[in-house]
Amino acid sequence: MDLLQGTLDVLILKTLSWGPMHGYGVARWLQQVTDDILSIEEGSLYPSLHRMEKRGWIEAEWGLSENNRRAKYYALTPTGRKQLRAESASFTTFSTAVVKVLQATKLAT
Amino acid sequence: MPNKSPSWRRYLRFWGSDIDSDVADELKFHIESRVQDAIAGGASEEQAHAEALKRFGDVERVRRVLTSLGKEIETERRRSDWLGELAQDLRVAVRSLRKTPAFTLVALITLALGIGANTAVFSVVNGVLLRPLPYPNADRVAILWDAMPGLGYAKGNISNAEVIDVRTRTSAFDAVGAFRGYGGTLTGSGEPEAISGLQISASVFDILGTPAAMGRVFTAEEDQRGRDGVIVLADGFWRRRFGADPKVLGRTLLLDGTPHVVIGILPASFALEKADAYIPLAMNTDSLVQQRSWHNFKGLVRLKKDVPVKQANAQLGALAASLRSEYPLKYPRDMGFGMFVQPLQDALVGNARRSLLVLLGAVALVLLIACVNVANLMLARAESRQREFAVRVALGARGGRLVRQLLTESTMLALVGGAAGAMLASWGVRALLAVSPGAVPRSDGVHVDGVVLLVTLAIAVMTGIAFGLVPALHAARPELQSVLRDEGRGASAGRGRARTRSLLIIAELALAVVVLTSAGLLMRSFWRLQRVGAGIAPDNVIAMQLSVPRASYREPEKSQRFFAEVVERVAHLPGVRDAAAAYSNPTKGFSSWDIELEGRPKSPGEADPSPIPQFITPRYFAALGIPLIAGRFLGAQDDNPAAPAVVINETFAKRLMPNGAVGKRFRVSGTKEWMTVVGVAADVKMLGPAEPPKIEWAANLSASALVGGAIRDMWIVARTSGDPAAIVPAARRELWAMDPNVNFADVSTMTDVLSQSVARPRFTMLLLASFAAVALVLAAVGVYGVIAYSVSQRTRELGIRMALGARGGDVMRLVVGQGIGVAAAGIAVGVIASLAATRLLGNLLFETNARDPITFISIATMLAAVAMAASFIPARRATKVDPAIALRE
């Protein structure tokens, strides 16, 4: 399933809202939560992460992973949290609208 | 929460980012984690790898995207870090400078003076030496000179035949033109006005490439006798005389009674020589073309593209050599005849270059001295801020941040000081040029403009770093522990700083010695210049130029009678004690005529002596106050055209008639009548005392017809009992009663004329002397500061000494002795530096040795005395130390 760029950002932001995580952690989390339905190409997570870092939505810091390896951790910034709220609100509006259209079509038949 | 990364990694950012390895690490971590998870889930290693890579997608592409993103992030972060730190530094700087207003004020005044003086001098250097001439190809325009070293002329005017030779027999030039000064009287509109103009060949406009601002310039056709009734006006003259009326174009003006049609107005930037108007030279008549010995023109050339001046001069040298062999009588071997070109800019700037460069050097030294003083102030200030710095270091500020903080403060001081200095300079330059007219060529283009302000900005920034660096480096390594435990005062750190301050003061005194000795030498030289004098008594003498038009004064007798009557009428005005007229105005250009001495046949190749002729009315020597050395002055009884009597000057007598001059005879080459020397008068040096002496002779005006044709320009001088300028209106009325179509020009008192001749040396001397005064004050302040500081540091020690029985005198000697020690070292270094530096003054010194011991000794003594006085004040304070209080502290 293809994902819109903005959609992937919202998903990542939402994932990070539970706490700082490294890129692999984000990928695994998304995979578990969605039962791998989205089957996101994992490589595409990283440009998204770095772009959001550049915009100041998330910040990165090197730390040690659960298995004691050096890993880059990402955490939501206040701006990122605000962004997440705004994006998820508009995404909800959007998806509600889409659902409405789809259901309306069914009713009219 | 993850563990923090090791702190050393932060330092990697100092040496450039490690984005590549960060990206590689991050991606590697992802893939390896995925592989491990898969293996843990039971997959084979191979399967796990393949699956991980498949899930990830194009690793290389992601890596590229991340690397470029990483670089952008890094750049942005650095910029924002830097800006944030700068803003913080600026805030701290403003706050801390406002907390110490006395320091800030003293530092700002010092810097404003130092930077402002530099801005002022640089704006003059920029306007005079650096600013290009306002002509296209100005770098290829040059003046063409003759050289006759055998006759004492390193460069001189050129003759028409030589101009034609250069035009036809060399290949280095695009165009060759000529011009000469021309004084004429303009009539036909309002009051007659004697104007100073230039007669120029049409090619001069072509060489300079300047079109007229209005109308046109004249053509080669108009540069011919008979068609030359045209005139081009200079911008300034057009505004002054015609109120910038454009309708003057096409009008006919009478110049010396000859009609000239105004065909053009030149732009204000056009400046070859000072002139009101330009008329054709019209050199095409046969008699003029033949003239080879009539050296009456300045040549102007434009070098061909890519022909260097050197190559052009080589061609001119070769041409001069062939002319010498073609015309051995015109160019005798001893004359050493040669020809050369000098770039127009050099010719216009002349010897002002060295004066300006010396001033620039001196003013830079003054700025250095100012820097040392402010650095010392900053060091003292840093003492009281030790706690602040120590706290910041203890809180984690890197040394570099402290250095930056202090450099921000010093640069800010320098920028504010520089801004004040630029304002001082723009006002000062105008004042400077106003009080010394004529001291600097091209001074109309001297402004504090954009270029000057940019240079000032650069100077200010460099200054800020220069005086901020030493204090900053010192402050950056405070002795943390001792300072925080409040044992800072008197600790070893203080001693290190005291040594630095002493070294700074030694450097400062040395610099001051260099500036002071240079100024001292120039003052001595100027004093000598003044003492030599011009050989005349200049007080209460007025001088005026008077020309009569050729059309109405064709016969020599008529113009002679006219001038004689003018002198007569002026002499009888109330308040006039003596009046006279002279043919050759010693402050202007002059011509020289070859002569032969009686009873001294010339050997082949020997150049004839070529003295300057003068024709005068009898009271000339009395009116100017020129002393008689031997024989007698001229009188009416000498008006014998068959055997004219002459008075020669001292140099003439010494060089050509060493065994007694009175009674000897000589004649102008090509004439028959012998002239008898009846007297010897003192040398006159009105072009400035440094001018080399010239050979001159003077005869009565009546002799001029015999040897020189009609005289139509004369220099009228009058000695008065009161203000000499007051007689001018009456003199003018007398003149117009005789001929309403002429007028006096260049009216000025003789004192002004003479002061003009030393305007440049006076300008250089006064400026350098004021820089020296600033240097002296700064040095005194510097010595005072160091000694006062050291006294305050040693309060405890001095208290102990006094408690142990030292008397006030002992303490005084101790402190003053320290000041003298520093001063002696500084002065010694300075004298050695000056011995090398004053040689750069070169020909600015008139009859003064660049190592003049009297100057050196007086300057050293004066500085030592000043240093002693400066340490005396803190020494007195030291004797008042109360041992009880000092010990308790």
| Average pLDDT value for residue range B66-86 | 86
Contacts of B548 by beta carbon, 8 Å cutoff, 6+ apart: B185, B559, B562, B563, B712, B739, B742
Of B2, B29, B62, the CB nearest to A47: B62
SS (H, E, C) B202-224: HHHHHHHCCCCCEECCCCCCCCC
Burial (Cβ within 10 Å: 0-12, 13-18, ≥19) of residue B185: buried
Contacts of B438 by beta carbon, 8 Å cutoff, 6+ apart: B756, B759
Q: Is the pLDDT of residue B475 over 90?
A: no
* DSSP per-residue codes, B130-180: ISPPSSTTGGGEEEEEEEEGGGTEEEE-B-HHHHHHHHHH-SSEEEEEEEE
Residues 77-106 of A with CB under 8 A from B: none
- Degrees to nearest 5, angle at CA B736 with B733 and B740: 150
**DSSP strand E in A46-92: where?**
58-64, 70-76
Q: Is the pLDDT of residue B756 over 50?
A: yes
Inter-chain contacts counted by CB atoms under 8 A, chains A and B: 83
DSSP character at residue A37: S
Task: Report how far apart the first and last C-alpha atoms of chain B are (Å, whole number).
Answer: 53
* A56 contact B CB<8A: no
CB spacing of A70 vs B25 below 8 angstroms: yes
| Average pLDDT value for residue range B506-519 | 92
Cβ neighbours of B823 (radius 10 Å) = 25
Query: Cα separations (Å) of A10 from A17, A84, B183, B804?
Result: 10, 6, 91, 83
For chain A, how long is the longest CA-to-CA vector? 59
Q: Is the pLDDT of residue B478 over 80?
A: no
User: In whole angstroms, what is the distance from residue B319 CA to residue B760 CA?
Assistant: 36
> Nearest residue on chain A to B75, judged by CA atoms?
A54
Contact B234, B196 (CB under 8 A): no
Chain A residues within 8 A of B4 when measuring between CB atoms: 61, 63
Q: Is the pLDDT of residue A1 over 50?
A: no
Give tens-digit pLDDT for B339-386: 999 999 888 887 788 888 899 999 999 999 999 888 888 887 877 777
Give tens-digit pLDDT for B525-553: 888 887 777 788 888 999 999 988 877 88
Contact B564, B738 (CB under 8 A): no
Contact B600, B611 (CB under 8 A): no
SS (H, E, C) B252-321: EEEECCEEEEEEEECCCCCCCCCCCEEEECCCCCHHHHHCCCCCCEEEEEEECCCCCHHHHHHHHHHHHH
Letter for the amino acid at B767? L
Of A24, A47, A69, the CB nearest to B69: A47
Coil, strand, or helix at residue B820? helix
Q: Is the pLDDT of residue B93 over 80?
A: yes
Give tens-digit pLDDT for B654-708: 988 988 899 999 988 878 889 999 999 999 887 777 777 788 999 998 888 766 6
CB spacing of A46 vs B66 below 8 angstroms: yes
Q: Are strands B153-156 and B173-187 parallel, antiparallel or unpaired?
A: unpaired
Q: Are strands B173-187 and B193-200 parallel, antiparallel or unpaired?
A: antiparallel
CB spacing of B73 vs A54 below 8 angstroms: yes
CB spacing of B29 vs A72 below 8 angstroms: yes
Contacts of A40 by beta carbon, 8 Å cutoff, 6+ apart: A3, A8, A27, A30, A31
User: Which band of pLDDT confidence, cut at 50, 70 and 90, is reported for residue B416?
Assistant: very high
What is the percentage of chain B residues whose pLDDT exceeds 70? 94
* A54 contact B CB<8A: yes
Chain A residues within 8 A of B57 when measuring between CB atoms: 41-44
Q: Are strands B541-547 and B744-749 parallel, antiparallel or unpaired?
A: antiparallel
Give the relative orientation of helices B759-793 and B853-879 as an angle to the nearest 10 degrees. Answer: 30
pLDDT of residue B334: 83
Contact B242, B257 (CB under 8 A): no
Q: Is the pLDDT of residue B569 over 60?
A: yes
CB spacing of A24 vs B34 below 8 angstroms: yes
Give tens-digit pLDDT for B292-348: 877 888 999 999 999 999 999 999 999 999 999 999 888 888 888 999 999 998 888
- Degrees to nearest 5, angle at CA B837 with B831 and B838: 90
CB spacing of A63 vs B72 below 8 angstroms: no
Give tens-digit pLDDT for B41-70: 888 888 888 888 888 888 889 999 999 988
Q: Is the pLDDT of residue B5 over 50?
A: no
pTM for the model stands at 0.73
User: In whole angstroms, what is the distance from residue B316 CA to residue B308 CA?
Assistant: 13
Contact B540, B725 (CB under 8 A): no
CB spacing of B5 vs A70 below 8 angstroms: yes
Burial (Cβ within 10 Å: 0-12, 13-18, ≥19) of residue B211: middle
Test mutation, A62, A65, A66, A77, chain B, max B CBs within 10 A: A62
Whose structure tokens read 């007659």? B192
Give tens-digit pLDDT for B617-649: 989 999 999 999 999 999 888 888 778 899 999
Residue B706 backbone dihedrals phi, psi, to 5 degrees: -65, -45
User: In terms of Cα–Cα distance, which of B225, B223, B233, B226 is closest to B196?
Assistant: B233
Q: Tell me the nearest-neighbour CA distance from A10 into chain B, angstroms.
A: 19
Of A20, A28, A46, the CB nearest to B1: A20
Residue B610 backbone dihedrals phi, psi, to 5 degrees: -130, 75
User: In whole angstroms, what is the distance from residue B726 CA to residue B723 CA?
Assistant: 6
User: In whole angstroms, what is the distance from residue B471 CA to residue B371 CA?
Assistant: 12
Chain B residues within 8 A of A55 when measuring between CB atoms: none
> Nearest residue on chain A to B9, judged by CA atoms?
A62
pLDDT of residue B488: 44
CA atoms within 13 A on the CB side of B117: 26
pLDDT of residue B173: 95
Provide the Cα torsion B377, B383, B387, B389; round to 10°.
50
Coil, strand, or helix at residue B228? coil
Q: Tell me the nearest-neighbour CA distance from A102 into chain B, angstroms.
A: 32
pLDDT of residue B237: 92
Test mutation, A72, A73, A76, chain B, max B CBs within 10 A: A72
CB spacing of B56 vs A43 below 8 angstroms: yes
Chain A residues within 8 A of B34 when measuring between CB atoms: 24, 27, 42
User: Which band of pLDDT confidence, cut at 50, 70 and 90, is reported for residue B177?
Assistant: very high
Mean of the per-residue pLDDT values for chain B? 85
User: In whole angstroms, what is the distance from residue B776 CA to residue B509 CA?
Assistant: 9
Q: Is the pLDDT of residue A51 over 50?
A: yes
ipTM: 0.87
Assigned token pair, B301: 């050339």
Chain B residues within 8 A of A64 when measuring between CB atoms: 2-3
Of A20, A54, A67, the CB nearest to B2: A20
Given strand A70-76, what is the order of strands in its sheet? A21-22, A70-76, A58-64
pLDDT of residue B285: 66
For chain B, how long is the longest CA-to-CA vector? 141
pLDDT of residue B587: 75
Chain A residues within 8 A of B62 when measuring between CB atoms: 43-44, 46-47
DSSP character at residue B127: I
Assigned token pair, B269: 């930037």
> Nearest residue on chain B to A71, judged by CA atoms?
B26
pLDDT of residue B2: 42
SS (H, E, C) B388-406: HHHHHHHCCCCHHHHHHHH
In B, what residues contact A, Cβ < 8 A? Answer: 1-5, 9, 22, 25-27, 29-30, 32-34, 36-37, 55-59, 61-62, 65-66, 69-70, 72-73, 76
Provide the Cα torsion A24, A25, A28, A33; round to 10°.
-150
Q: Are strands B645-649 and B576-582 parallel, antiparallel or unpaired?
A: unpaired
* A65 contact B CB<8A: yes
Residues 26-45 of A with CB under 8 A from B: 27-28, 41-44
Query: Cα separations (Å) of B772 from B586, B742, B769?
Result: 35, 50, 5
Q: Tell me the helices (H) and strands (E) count for chain A, helix number first.
A: 4, 3
Lowest pLDDT segment from A31-45, B27-41, B309-323: A31-45
Contact B223, B280 (CB under 8 A): yes
User: In whole angstroms, what is the distance from residue B637 CA to residue B618 CA?
Assistant: 10
* A18 contact B CB<8A: no
User: In whole angstroms, what is the distance from residue B850 CA to residue B518 CA?
Assistant: 8
pLDDT of residue B610: 81
Test mutation, B8, B12, B28, B29, chain A, max A CBs within 10 A: B29
pLDDT of residue B4: 43
User: In whole angstroms, what is the distance from residue B644 CA to residue B659 CA?
Assistant: 21
Q: How many whole angstroms from its chain centre is CA B715?
A: 32
Lowest pLDDT segment from A24-28, B225-229, B486-490, B578-582: B486-490
Q: How many whole angstroms from its chain centre is CA B532?
A: 25
| Average pLDDT value for residue range B605-619 | 85
Assigned token pair, B426: 């723009």
Q: Is the pLDDT of residue B248 over 60?
A: yes
Q: Are strands B696-700 and B612-616 parallel, antiparallel or unpaired?
A: parallel
